[in-house]
Structure 1
Amino acid sequence: MHFKRRTHTCGELRENNIGENVILHGWVDKRRDLGGVIFIELRDRYGITQIVFEPTFNKESHHEAKDLRSEFVISIEGVVRKRPEGTENPELETGQIDVMVNKLIILNEAVTPPFPIRDDIDTHEDLRLKYRYLDLRRPKLQKNLLLRHRMYQLTRKYFDKNNFVEVETPVLMKSTPEGARDFLVPSRLHKGKFYALPQSPQTYKQILMVSGLDRYFQIVKCFRDEDLRADRQPEFTQIDVEMSFVDQEDIFQIVEGLMKIMFKEIWNKELQTPIPRLSFDEAMEKYGSDKPDLRFDLEMKNLNHIFHKTEFRVFKDAIDSDGIISGLLAPGCGEYTRNQLDVLTDFVKGFGAKGLIWIRVKQSDSGLELESPTMKFFTDEEKQNLIKELNAKAGDLIFILSGNRIKTLNIAGQLRLEMARRLDLIKPDAEPKLLWVTDFPLFEWDEETKRYYAMHHPFTSPRLEDIPLMETAPSKVKARAYDLVLNGNEIAGGSIRIHNSELQAKMFKVLGISEEEAQTKFGFLMNAFKYGAPPHGGIAFGFDRMAMIFAGENSIRDVIAFPKTASGISLMDDSPSFVDEAQLRELHIKVR
């Protein structure tokens, strides 16, 4: 089959091309037959051009065009003309012209697709993922992948300009579980032994600092065998960054430089720096989240000081057990019905709350009054202080939750988001909000296993002034760790690392990792530290999540070419799949 090279793409022709002889290639998007004249919208990734088959212009090509159907791949040759007056299409960039066809070549026919190749289709996601090669023809998904490509190029250009070296780290590595499960790869040559796919290149990038490379970055695939949701995939992409001889401020400066470029080039917005900062404790207390959405103003309040003399058993127990009483004002919601309040009570119970105290704020002759079944437990002074602390007005609604500090704040944070949705406070055109969250706890206690775990990873450095607390009060130790949050999504996280063997050994001890286990899992890194490791730190961006937000999508599946479903299945190529017995025997594996 012979066809000529195209002269233009389907998004390129304009009025200044009128009269030119052109060659276009693409897919048949739409077909209309109007009394013998056939109109085809021809599509490629650059756009759509209307082509016209008219028997008086070219009888042969008009006859051949009668066989054209949706998604046929064709090549045409013709003459660009100005569309007849009144037939222009302002929705297309090529809408002022069309092409009169004098030669048609059908490059490939197509069966009827299972769904139309359009953005406004109401098709189940599973069907779109099964026929992902068709789904990817839709303009929106192509636009998302082009945006992702652009973000890659901006990233590489920025880090190269700032003296970073892109180094590829191994995909087959040692299994060093750090939280999520590893994906394991059996070795055929070494019976009974396994490689792991990297959850991140953490140990390698630290070794690159020991190697003297100073500034490293990589756009890298990572793998975690964990339960999925909208913003998770078993394989995902990170922008991985590590720097030597730095402190937290150096990391912030580099990251903020990249974000300024992304905001300008992708959204055409000027990002004001430095980016605001909140400590972990402040973020939890005010917003009930370590990744707070600051696009709306609802702010929680710590009410412990108001009820420090309370005899109300629920509040007294919370204060006595070092817990918290957290209040949230819902403006203008004082008319909520009892049924609406019961729905909200069930909502917080779904997250583990024992109950929800709600209080209506009403106007009376003597001033503001509080109305609630719990008011009999409050003194007049507590009522007035509560109104003042929350700046409550007539017609408002107050919510109060109490109990274990972190658990209660997390639940209150979920209630804050729910009320923002109900009050329609998160506008699609709201100004994007970036935030640094700092000073995370170094350790978190797990009640089930009765041991401490690293909140970030075991190579995160404690604040230097907190090192003495590691053996006496681990829960009070703060980490030199930081997260970057955009519109309520964590898009990057990192830390200053431990760079000497003695402190690293102390960290492993608190985590209950024996010297033998540490040597088995991380011995290569510990040994590297003995040969002059520089102070170093870094950060890793969740690139898929970042692309999702910049593209205005709600799921990372819409910015990944070939994603898995929520259960980790690729519907298009049916993976994971069974393998034959011979392959298993070679790998010394038997499936039970």
Structure 2
Amino acid sequence: MRTHLCGNVTENLTGQSVVLCGWVARSRDLGGLIFIGLRDHAGVLQVVVEPENKPAFAEAEKLRNEFCVRVTGTVRLRPESQWNPDMATGRVELLAETVEILNASAPLPLLMSDDDGEEVRLKYRYLDLRRDRLQRNLRLRTRLTRAIRGYLDGHDFLDIETPILTRATPEGARDYLVPSRAQPRSFFALPQSPQLFKQLLMMGGMDRYYQIARCFRDEDLRADRQPEFTQLDLEMAFVDEADVQAIAEGMVRAAFREVLDVELPGPFPRMSWAEAMRRYGSDKPDLRIPLELVTICDAVREVEFKVFSGPANDPGSRVVALKAPGAAGQSRKQIDDYAAYAGRYGAKGLAWMKVKDPAAGIEGVQSPIAKFLDGSAVAGILEATGAAAGDLLLFGADKKPVVNAFMGALRLKLGRDLALVEPGWRPLWVVDFPMFEFDPDEARYDALHHPFTAPAVADPESLKAHAGEAVSRAYDMVLNGAEIGGGSVRIHDPVLQQAVFDLLGIDEAEAKQRFGFLLEALRYGCPPHGGIAFGIDRIAALMCGEDSIREVIAFPKTTTAGCPLTGAPSVVDAAQLDELHIQLKPGK
């Protein structure tokens, strides 16, 4: 039906006859001439319809935005004064010979711009997808997955699919359940990841596996979460951490080189989890922001201000300062806004100090808490933070996880608000994660990653004796403050695996019931193995410069896990429920 794409018509085609198909992006009648912006996935071309061509002009007069049309005409240069440098086709136009309406459009229910609300954009996603922004994003995403496949294919990985209908496994979120008609009162679970199957593939001698897999998690949503998402999964046999990291880093480098023509700095630096939390309050620090948390416990242990001295003397707590360079001019309202922001992440308050003259000690600072501090404490704070005249200090004091959460979030906000975010890409490996988190309510440990992650110590008794200090063989890849991938070396010894289950409160009977097939496989010569998984949606969003992964997914869900386009989830009729042996509770 067409000979060329709209966005590919350039000066090289001047004088040639072409046939184009697309949608009307705009239509203007200027003094008898009709100008049409004709758009397809490749771009927009200006089409001119002259009144002397009566059949074409009559059809062009009917056109409205988003009419689907076919145009035949001759390419010609625009007058130089009308060149548009913002368009790839800005030096040429098409003089129409025929205009054919392939399909008219009803009045549009949205503006076809970023001003449309997200709900209406998702309800009419098929229209939203026509926009340049979404076209660009999804085409970049395609190049990303193509680059990933090319790299892994070139490194002898096998592309193997794993089941979608499986059984529930403990991976940190609620499962989506699917009732079985053939086996009444039994349920499949949609996979949160292919974790167990990829380990079984290593046990099956596949050696190197990858899959761009759909995963499902029933959890509260936000900008970087969806109930169904796409994950690059890979696993390797007979490897240690360095082997997996080398392949993963090489793949990410190749993808950025091929998709964005960007050479990532390298090798990627490595930072322990403990150091990341101490310096940035986060296990996914954005290294583009040159702000760090500074521990000031030594300076405030003896002050009368119990908000500081209490945590400073508690091994499970910390007191930190965050220096905002040159921000002492912030108003009280702006500082109060920062306190309210920190409160969303658990802060009970936000102490602050404006530095006027650091050489003057306590006389050179302005702060509502200065009266509770002595000269020695203020001097220690100023020395530890390296504060200069005109700086603003913000303080956090509480249990370590609480302080890390709200001061880490505040660091990111300050970096953006003060325009301190450096350009470019800052990758990082975060390593040496704790093996467990202790749950005081249940009086047991939880796995920080998943229960199949190998500990750094291979002796089960030593692991049990020092579980609180145990370090795992896990690793995360972080890019510009986003965790884009995470993995670990797995447990391949059944005795060590049961020791981990014991610490997690999973006895042998429960372990056998939940994933006995994996434990059985461990008994038959399981090789040492490890892997990593990457969030395709998240990497694509970063590459596209989008804050939300919904902008790189063709048909995403809302933050309530609904689909405005299809109306899913929806009510199911009684007959279908009866066939599945499901009875609904009475209620709303």
TM-score normalized with structure 2 length: 0.95
Alpha carbons 1:497, 1:536 under 8 Å: kept: yes
Alpha carbons 2:264, 2:425 under 8 Å: kept: no
SS of 1:464's equivalent?
Answer: coil
Q: Unaligned regions of 5+ residues in structure 1, if any?
A: none
Q: Is the aligned partner of 1:326 residue 2:329?
A: no
Equivalent residue, structure 1, for 2:345: 351
Moved more, 513-522 or 7-16: 7-16
Evaluate the alpha carbon distance shift between residue 111 and residue 465 of structure 1 in structure 2; reply closer, same or farther with a 3 A threshold: same
Q: Is the aligned partner of 1:283 residue 2:276?
A: yes
- Could you report, residue by residue, the CA deviation over 1:191-231 in whole angstroms, capped at 9, with x for unpaired residues? 10111100000000000000011111110100001111111
Q: What's the CA shift for 1:507?
A: 0.5
Equivalent residue, structure 1, for 2:58: 63
- Could you report, residue by residue, the CA deviation over 1:568-588 in whole angstroms, capped at 9, with x for unpaired residues? 110011101111111111111
SS of 1:67's equivalent?
Answer: coil
Alpha carbons 1:89, 1:96 under 8 Å: kept: yes
Alpha carbons 2:457, 2:463 under 8 Å: kept: no
Moved more, 268-277 or 350-359: 350-359
SS of 2:100's equivalent?
Answer: strand
- Could you report, residue by residue, the CA deviation over 1:109-137 in whole angstroms, capped at 9, with x for unpaired residues? 111211233x4x41111111110000000
Equivalent residue, structure 1, for 2:517: 524
1:265 paired residue among 258, 266, 280:
258
1:301 paired residue among 287, 294, 298:
294
Distance 1:344 1:43 in 2: 45
Evaluate the alpha carbon distance shift between residue 466 and residue 112 of structure 1 in structure 2; reply closer, same or farther with a 3 A threshold: farther
Alpha carbons 1:25, 1:74 under 8 Å: kept: yes
Distance 1:61 1:335 in 2: 64
Evaluate the alpha carbon distance shift between residue 383 and residue 517 of structure 1 in structure 2; reply closer, same or farther with a 3 A threshold: same
Equivalent residue, structure 1, for 2:71: 76
2:89 paired residue among 83, 89, 94:
94
Alpha carbons 1:466, 1:477 under 8 Å: kept: no
Distance 1:576 1:147 in 2: 30
How does 1:3-18 map onto structure 2 within 5 Å? 5-18=1-14
Equivalent residue, structure 2, for 1:381: 376
Equivalent residue, structure 2, for 1:47: 43
Distance 1:13 1:338 in 2: 57
SS of 2:46's equivalent?
Answer: strand
Q: What's the CA shift for 1:449?
A: 3.3
Alpha carbons 2:361, 2:379 under 8 Å: kept: no
Distance 1:316 1:80 in 2: 77
Alpha carbons 2:6, 2:44 under 8 Å: kept: yes
Q: Which amino acid aligns with 2:20?
A: L
Distance 1:365 1:44 in 2: 65
Instruction: Name the % identity.
Output: 48
SS of 2:345's equivalent?
Answer: coil
Alpha carbons 1:284, 1:410 under 8 Å: kept: no
Q: Is the aligned partner of 1:415 residue 2:419?
A: no
Q: What's the CA shift for 1:86?
A: 2.8
Alpha carbons 2:23, 2:68 under 8 Å: kept: yes
How does 1:375-524 map onto structure 2 within 5 Å? 375-426=370-421, 430-464=423-457, 468-524=461-517
Alpha carbons 1:467, 1:477 under 8 Å: kept: no
Moved more, 258-267 or 229-238: 258-267
Q: Which amino acid aligns with 2:12?
A: N
Equivalent residue, structure 2, for 1:540: 533
Q: Is the aligned partner of 1:227 residue 2:223?
A: no
1:292 paired residue among 282, 285, 288:
285
Q: What's the CA shift for 1:401?
A: 1.9
Evaluate the alpha carbon distance shift between residue 76 and residue 476 of structure 1 in structure 2; reply closer, same or farther with a 3 A threshold: same
Equivalent residue, structure 2, for 1:336: 330
Q: Number of matched residues?
A: 583
CA RMSD of aligned residues (A): 2.0
Q: What's the CA shift for 1:345?
A: 3.3
Q: What's the CA shift for 1:269?
A: 2.2
Equivalent residue, structure 2, for 1:579: 572
TM-score normalized with structure 1 length: 0.94
Q: Which amino acid aligns with 1:217?
A: Y
Q: What's the CA shift for 1:335?
A: 3.5
Distance 2:369 2:120 in 1: 52
Distance 1:198 1:329 in 2: 44
SS of 1:297's equivalent?
Answer: coil
Q: Which amino acid aligns with 1:475?
A: G
